[in-house]
Amino acid sequence: MPALIIDGKAIAEQIKAEVKRDAERLKRERGIVPGLAFILVGEDPASQVYVRSKGKACEEMGFHSITERLPETISQQELLTLIHRCNHDPKIHGILVQLPLPKHIDESTIIEAIDFKKDVDGFHPVNVGRLVLGHKCFRPCTPAGVQELLLRGGNDPSGKHVVVVGRSNIVGKPVMNILLQKQRGANAVVTIAHTGTSDLSTYTKQADILVAAIGKAEAIRGDMLKPGCVVIDVGINRIPDPTAKSGTRLVGDVHFASASNVARAITPVPGGVGPMTIAMLMKNTLLAAEGAMYK
C-alpha cells in the first residue's frame, strides 16, 4: 500500500490560523501587534523569494513587518548598527537576518548581535544553548516544523528510533536536540548520520522515523528504509526535468516513488516541511510579542 502523505501545507495553514487568532486576541486584549524585521543583504534571488513569502505571511497574520534591503557592499559595522536599532525598537519583536551573508561579513558576529529575546530564527547561541539544555527558548523554525509535522500527523516520536541524516546547525543538530528532550512530543532515541557514516543504510534501515536533511537530490531510496517507517524529507533540490515547462522541478533528499512503497507515511516535496518553516516563524514571532519566551 502506498504511504500516507503527510500534508505539510494543510498543517502549516492550521498553525497559521491559530497564530492569526491568537494575534488578534493579543491586539484586542493588550494592544500589541507582533512586529518582525527582515534584513536582506544583496541580491541573492532565493533570499529575495524567501523574504517576500515571509513578508506575505506577516500580512496574512496581521503582523507589522519591515524589510530592510541593503546593498551587497554594506559594511559589517553598518549592518550591526541596523541590528542595534531593531533591538531597541519596541514595535519589533522578532529580527530575521536572511542568510547567507556576503563573504566580508561574519555570520556569527551578526547573529550574536541580535537580542536573543528577538531571535525568532533560534540561531543565537543563547537559544541554541537553552535548546540543548531542554530550557524554554526560540527553536529554529524548520526543525520545530519537523516536530509539529510528526505530532499533528499522528506520529509521536516518543520512544521511537529517529535517524536524522545531516548534522547542520540549522537543521540536523536542532532536530536532534528537539526530539531527544525528556519532554512530551519528544523523548525519542536519536541517531545522527553524516558524511563520516560508513554504511548509511545500516542506520537508515533501523529508523522508525527518518529525517533527511542532506542537500542531495533523492539520495535516500526505498531500499534503505525500514518497512512501515515514517519519512520526513527536509531537502529542497532543483533537478533538470525536460517534461516540465521550466525545465526543472523540485525534489527532496528522499526518492519519493521508491520510499513511498516502503514507508507508512511520508512528506512530499514540495508541500511537506517547506510550508512549516514559515508557519513556525509566525508562531515564534507571536511568542516573542506575547513575551511568552523571555520577560
State the residue for C-alpha cell 514540495: 270
Residues taking part in catalysis: 54, 98, 121
Closer by beta carbon to ligand NDP, 195 or else 246: 195
Strands (E), 139-273: 161-165, 189-193, 209-212, 230-233, 237-240, 248-251, 265-266
Question: Helices 8-30 and 45-61: crossing angle, nearest 10°?
Answer: 50
Candidates 21, 91, 104, 194; binder of ligand NDP (CB under 6 A) is: 194
Candidates 65, 98, 127, 142; binder of ligand NDP (CB under 6 A) is: 142
Strands (E), the chain: 4-5, 35-41, 64-70, 94-97, 161-165, 189-193, 209-212, 230-233, 237-240, 248-251, 265-266
Site string for ligand NDP, 247-266 (x = CB under 6 A): ------x-------------
Residue 172 interacts with ligand NDP (CB under 6 A): yes or no = yes
Closer by beta carbon to ligand NDP, 45 or else 196: 196
Reply yes or no: is the peptide bond before residue 2 cis, omega within 30 of 0. no
CA dihedral 210, 214, 218, 220 (to 10 degrees): -40
Residue 213 interacts with ligand NDP (CB under 6 A): yes or no = yes
Q: Candidates 24-32, 99-107, 113-121, 231-239: pick the segment binding ligand NDP (CB under 6 A).
A: 231-239
Q: Candidates 61-69, 72-80, 222-230, 270-278: pick the segment binding ligand NDP (CB under 6 A).
A: 270-278
Least spacing, CB of residue 212 vs ligand NDP, in Å: 8
Residue 234 interacts with ligand NDP (CB under 6 A): yes or no = yes
Least spacing, CB of residue 116 vs ligand NDP, in Å: 21
CB 124 within 8 A of CB 156: no
Name the strands in the sheet holding 265-266, side by side, starting at the edge strand that comes first in the sequence: 4-5, 265-266, 230-233, 209-212, 161-165, 189-193
Candidates 152, 167, 205, 249; binder of ligand NDP (CB under 6 A) is: 167
Closer by beta carbon to ligand NDP, 115 or else 148: 148
State the residue for C-alpha cell 532565493: 46
Residue with nearest beta carbon to ligand NDP: 168
State the residue for C-alpha cell 550591526: 80
State the residue for C-alpha cell 500589541: 32
Candidates 28, 45, 77, 195; binder of ligand NDP (CB under 6 A) is: 195
Contact positions vs ligand NDP (CB under 6 A): 142, 165-168, 170-172, 193-197, 200, 213-216, 219, 234-237, 253, 273-274, 277
